Amino acid sequence: MLVIDDHPLFRQGVIDAISLEDDMKVIGQLSTGETALETIRSLRPAIVLLDVNLPGMNGQQITHEVTSEKLRTRVVLMSGYDDAEQSLHAALAGAAAYCAKEVEPKALLDIIRKVAEGKFVYDSRSMTRGELQDWIEEQIEAAPRPYSEPGSPFHPLSNREMEVLECVVRGLSNKEIASLLGISHQTVKNHVTSILRKFSVEDRTQAVVYALKHGWVRLKTSTARSEGQGL
- pLDDT over 90 (residue 5): yes
Cα separation of 48 and 95, whole Å? 10
Per the structure, the count of domains in the chain is 2
121-172 pLDDT, tens digit per residue, is 998 899 999 999 899 888 877 765 544 444 444 566 777 888 899 898 888 8
pTM score above 0.75:
no
- pLDDT over 90 (residue 179): yes
Kindly state whether residues 136 and 181 are assigned to the same domain: no
Assign 58 a pLDDT band (cuts: 50, 70, 90): confident
Confidence at residue 230, expressed as pLDDT on a 0 to 100 scale? 32
Kindly state whether residues 127 and 172 are assigned to the same domain: no
CATH number reported for the structural domain that contains residue 213 in this entry: 1.10.10.10
Percent of the chain at pLDDT above 70?
87
In a domain, 171, yes or no: yes
In a domain, 153, yes or no: no
Return mean pLDDT, the chain. Answer: 84
Confidence at residue 192, expressed as pLDDT on a 0 to 100 scale? 93
CATH number reported for the structural domain that contains residue 125 in this entry: 3.40.50.2300
- pLDDT over 60 (residue 207): yes
Kindly state whether residues 10 and 109 are assigned to the same domain: yes
Sign of CA dihedral 225, 81, 210, 60: positive
Cα separation of 143 and 150, whole Å? 16
In a domain, 149, yes or no: no
In a domain, 147, yes or no: no
Cα separation of 216 and 123, whole Å? 22
In a domain, 34, yes or no: yes
Confidence at residue 226, expressed as pLDDT on a 0 to 100 scale? 37
Confidence at residue 144, expressed as pLDDT on a 0 to 100 scale? 55
In a domain, 68, yes or no: yes
Domain boundary among 107, 142, 177: 142
Q: Give the pLDDT mean for 37-52.
A: 94
Confidence at residue 229, expressed as pLDDT on a 0 to 100 scale? 37
**Structural domain span for residue 220:** 159-228
Kindly state whether residues 82 and 9 are assigned to the same domain: yes
100-113 pLDDT, tens digit per residue, is 999 999 999 999 99
Kindly state whether residues 127 and 181 are assigned to the same domain: no
Kindly state whether residues 132 and 185 are assigned to the same domain: no
Question: CB–CB of 48/76 below 8 Å?
Answer: yes
Kindly state whether residues 137 and 179 are assigned to the same domain: no
Cα separation of 133 and 208, whole Å? 31
In a domain, 73, yes or no: yes
Confidence at residue 12, expressed as pLDDT on a 0 to 100 scale? 95
Kindly state whether residues 121 and 96 are assigned to the same domain: yes
Instruction: Name residues whose C-beta falls within 8 Å of residue 65's C-beta, 6 or more positions apart in sequence.
Output: 37, 57
Q: Give the pLDDT mean for 182-203.
A: 88
In a domain, 154, yes or no: no
- pLDDT over 50 (residue 63): yes
Domain boundary among 92, 110, 142: 142
- pLDDT over 80 (residue 119): yes
